[in-house]
Structure 1
Amino acid sequence: MSIMYWTIWESDCEDPQVFLELTRECFSRWAVDDHAGESLEDGQHQVGHRRITLRSIADDAVSGVEGCTIDDMEGASSTRWCTTVRVAAGGGTAHIWVENCMETNDPTQRIKVGRPRVVADLLSLSENPRLKRDALCGTPRVITADDVSDFVSMLSYGDRRLPVIVFTEPFQTSGGRWRQLACQTARRSMGVATVAVLDQAAVSCFRAAFDDLAVWGGGIRTYAPRLVKSPADARRHRFIPAAEMRENDSWVVDRLVGTVAQLSTRRRVPGVFSVFLSDQRAISENELAEFRYQWEFDLELEKDDHATTQFELGRVSGHLERIVQKLRESNLEHLIWDAQVAPEDGLPDQVQGVTEAIVAAKEHLGEWLTIADSASRELHGIDTAPEAVSWGNNAYRGFRALAEYARSCKEDGFAGGFWVWCQRGGAMSVSWPATDKKLAMSESESVMNRDKYRKSRIFDVHHDVARSGRLLMQAHLKISEGGGDLAPRIYFHDDTAGATGKVHVGFVGPHYLVPNTKS
């Protein structure tokens, strides 16, 4: 099963037995969806399609209650949801752990992540709910200009455990829509994140205090746990520009909640919960061997990718040093410093995920690159994966390479095709490796001869390229070899010699949506 949501918090608790009984009643009402119902007894219960298990635990120091629900959803695809609640109380403190897991036989199924309703019910029982020093709340924290100093201190302290999602008021306000989205995000991410809202007056103070790590103008930033150090550390704290919010704000909320939910699954479990582990099923040796094989395989891919990156870095660094030397010899050294920082309205140097790479490419590369509106497919898992930033910047580099190739064809008269252009080495900042691990200009016969594989590679394209508005695309960028079926692919059509003179991207999404015989 995949863990979709995982929250742990502490609560003050004067009487453990009373608190545990209230917890049992709360879980029972939620599990049977009957707010007038009585507490379930220990044991197994069946309510409709839901199986419920409840048990009590006690040792010399700690008492506990554990409840579990399993929902089997039958339909076009079989999906199972499992929600587990564990509460351990003793010594004046109660520890609450809620875990939500899912498994399905349909890897393309779109999952909307969010806290189970029982989390809100349990938080209402808790007195001073917190994760270490971080208070848990299901509503946005309103930050005024007077609050900014304390807010920056809270973001910066090294023991912060919860991510903080900051919404800012747009320059051209869209009524209260941005606040509504903040409330939705706070409600769905309850227990795994803190949400804050800053109006324009607070944003001005925030920018002055936090400099390049701040956010403004309708943008949103998620400040990851641990110490916020310097602008060089900005990539850890994902930024969503206002333009992306305007394009699809409900999708942005899904991304935000998915990101903080994934961060929550990496949290360590306090030792007090060991009281529940006495009769848990041990992982079999076969399962361990399978996990180890997959980790070792991914590690080898990462090592190989790292070696390739180091080689490219050496080549680019050498090229840059030669350019700097030429500029110095021509008394044009000032141009080096003029070009060191990208202008605010220019092409950004890096992005925080694949979705942001698409937005940046549409905004800045449209003269040479067209990305179909329908190209973005199932990016939620990609944008919330641990590799999200790496994948996003690789995709962005790929978009820039395709655009630079199209420009080179039109303005420089290049006519050798994208593979040859990559072999030759385009502009150093956007070149793409011409290797089988990173680029394929066609699919194998085994893929093209099977109808289901062939159909999965027919994408929307501009009508000037194909009258029907649909075209079979075989050429694609391989954003990552590691990452399994989630690894992103970018499918494109080269029309540099055609009516549009551009490269057209028809698909950006996970590998499992464009399967092959090895998938």
Structure 2
Amino acid sequence: MFNGAFRIYARNVDPADPGNAFRHRYFTADRYRWDRKRAAVLAGRMAGPESTLRRPPPEFDAIKERLNRARAGIDNYEKMFNELGTEFDEVKAEVRELRRERSDLQEWEQEAERLEAQLDYAKKLLIVNGICDDFRLDEEGRFREKPPRSSREVATMVRKYLHDRVELHSEALRGDKVMDRNSASASWAQTAWQGFKALYAYGEYMAENPGQNVDFFTWCSGPHNRSGWTRDKTARGESGATMDKRGKTRIFPVSVKLSRNEEMEMVQHLKIQRKGEGDIPRVYFVYSPRTKKVHVGFYGPHELVPNTKSRKR
């Protein structure tokens, strides 16, 4: 239609049939333009009688049921969506809380590491100054001295507390089971620990006095030795006969910083016990002005470094 007119088509319309034109009423714009409700009234008068006589098609009920189910499904989806949204917000809040806790935990771990480093340094000061060896909490929560009771404990303490002046090679400890099965093993461990602390004090002295040419044996007799270690428990070297026959057993592993071949001959040693069987401990070492450290290449039983007087077991 044109100029605002509208037409209501009756049922069974056939636009190609010229005779159908008179069956379908139309209304010009002049009939309703001055009253907005007029068009609805006119359309209702025409369509009302027809609509009351017609029944919905057979498919109507099925389609209506499907639409109702779809509407119910949409409601369920909306409910589910809202629940998921709430759960998502809760998860986001938990993630934020976990991130905050992780950040706090990292700060606590860093603080714990810092305090542990300070505690280790304090222990080291007490150890190298001869005040106390190691510590542990007793049943009443107080610190008490805990001396080493095995050669492996000694090695652990040397690497932990004395490493800046005494370098115990990773392969230096040998035959620890042989030494530790002896009834005197605990006493040997404590004596060895005292010897290592004396080597630390010697290394400190040599590092602070680079112009000095003093071996450990001589240092033990001097005024700078406050460790309590005496030179009668120290050997300056080996006899010529021992070196001729057993010289290869005095070559020990060292750091590549000390030797490109990563091995070096050592003859100075600590006598943890001066006389005894093949299981008595020995500690072979050398001082290096280059590294300013005492390098220990061997800590083990005498039977692994025999001399000409050693008896075969």
1:385 to 182, 201, 211: 182
1:501 corresponds to which letter in structure 2? K
Residues matched between the structures, number: 174
Q: In the alignment, which residue of structure 2 is the partner of 1:239?
A: none
Structure 2 distance, partners of 1:375, 1:362, is 12
Larger Rg: 2
Which TM-score applies when normalising by structure 1?
A: 0.32
1:445 corresponds to which letter in structure 2? G
Show the 5 A alignment for 1:259-338: none
Which TM-score applies when normalising by structure 2?
A: 0.51
**8 Å Cα contact 1:460/1:506 also seen in 2:** yes
**8 Å Cα contact 2:219/2:225 also seen in 1:** no
**8 Å Cα contact 2:135/2:146 also seen in 1:** no
Q: In the alignment, which residue of structure 1 is the partner of 2:273?
A: 480
* CA deviation after TM superposition for structure 1 residue 403, in Å: 0.8
1:353 aligns with 2:150: yes
Larger RCO: 1 or 2 (CA < 8 Å, sep 6+): 2
* CA deviation after TM superposition for structure 1 residue 358, in Å: 1.0
**8 Å Cα contact 2:132/2:145 also seen in 1:** no
Runs of 4+ in 1 over 3 A off after TM superposition: 339-349, 412-415, 425-428
Q: In the alignment, which residue of structure 2 is the partner of 1:272?
A: none
**8 Å Cα contact 1:347/1:360 also seen in 2:** no
Q: In the alignment, which residue of structure 2 is the partner of 1:489?
A: 282
1:418 aligns with 2:220: no
1:419 corresponds to which letter in structure 2? F
1:515 corresponds to which letter in structure 2? P
1:374 aligns with 2:165: no
Q: 1:465 to 1:427 in 2, by over 3 A?
A: same
* CA deviation after TM superposition for structure 1 residue 425, in Å: 4.8
Structure 1 distance, partners of 2:163, 2:136, is 18
* CA deviation after TM superposition for structure 1 residue 416, in Å: 2.1
Q: In the alignment, which residue of structure 2 is the partner of 1:116?
A: none
Structure 1 distance, partners of 2:278, 2:133, is 37
Q: 1:367 to 1:379 in 2, by over 3 A?
A: same
* CA deviation after TM superposition for structure 1 residue 434, in Å: 1.0
Show the 5 A alignment for 1:492-507: 492-495=285-288, 497=289, 499-507=290-298
- Residues 216-245 of structure 1, C-alpha deviation per residue, up to 9 Å, x if partnerless? xxxxxxxxxxxxxxxxxxxxxxxxxxxxxx
* CA deviation after TM superposition for structure 1 residue 348, in Å: 6.2
Q: In the alignment, which residue of structure 1 is the partner of 2:239?
A: 444
Q: Which has the higher helix share?
A: 2
Identity %: 32
Structure 2 distance, partners of 1:365, 1:468, is 25
Q: In the alignment, which residue of structure 1 is the partner of 2:49?
A: none
- Residues 377-421 of structure 1, C-alpha deviation per residue, up to 9 Å, x if partnerless? 111021121101110011101111001100111225554221121
**8 Å Cα contact 1:375/1:505 also seen in 2:** yes
Structure 2 distance, partners of 1:353, 1:457, is 24
Q: Structure 1 unaligned runs (5+)? A: 1-338
* CA deviation after TM superposition for structure 1 residue 342, in Å: 6.0
**8 Å Cα contact 1:425/1:431 also seen in 2:** no
Structure 2 distance, partners of 1:483, 1:360, is 26
**8 Å Cα contact 2:166/2:294 also seen in 1:** yes
Q: In the alignment, which residue of structure 2 is the partner of 1:83?
A: none
Q: 1:344 to 1:359 in 2, by over 3 A?
A: same
**8 Å Cα contact 1:488/1:511 also seen in 2:** yes
**8 Å Cα contact 2:136/2:146 also seen in 1:** no
Q: Which has the higher strand share?
A: 1
**8 Å Cα contact 1:486/1:510 also seen in 2:** yes
1:401 corresponds to which letter in structure 2? A
